[in-house]
Amino acid sequence: MTIELGRVGLWAYQLDQVPASQARELAAEIEQIGYPTLWIPEMVGREPFVSSSLLLSATERLVMATGIASIYARDALCANSAWHTLTEAFPDRFLLGLGVSHQMMVEGLRGHDYSKPFSAMTAFLDGMDNGLYTASPSPVPPTRVLAALGPRMLRLAAERSAGAHPYFVPPEHTAFARETMGPGPLLCPEQAVVLETDPTRAREIARGHMAMYLQLPNYTNNLLRLGFSADDVADGGSDRLVDAIVAWGDEEAVAARVRAHHDAGADHVCVQVVPAEGTAAPVAEWRRLAPVLLG
The count of other CB atoms within 10 Å of the CB of residue 115 is: 9
Q: Average of pLDDT values for 142-148?
A: 98
pLDDT band at 4 (very low <50, low <70, confident <90, very high): very high
pLDDT in tens, 243-273: 999 999 999 999 999 999 999 999 999 999 9
Calpha distance 84→91 (Å, rounded) = 10
pLDDT band at 5 (very low <50, low <70, confident <90, very high): very high
Q: What are the distances in angstroms from CA 266 to CA 112, 146, 186, 254?
A: 33, 15, 8, 15
- DSSP 8-state assignment for residue 200: H
pLDDT for 279 beyond 80: no
Asked whether the CA dihedral 281, 285, 291, 292 is positive or negative, the reply is: negative
Reduced to 3 states (helix: H, G, I; strand: E, B; else coil), residue 50 is helix
- Hey, which CATH number is domain 8-294, 3.20.20.30, 3.40.50.300, 3.30.70.340, 3.40.190.10? 3.20.20.30
Can you give the residue ranges of every domain in the chain? 8-294
Average pLDDT score, the chain: 97
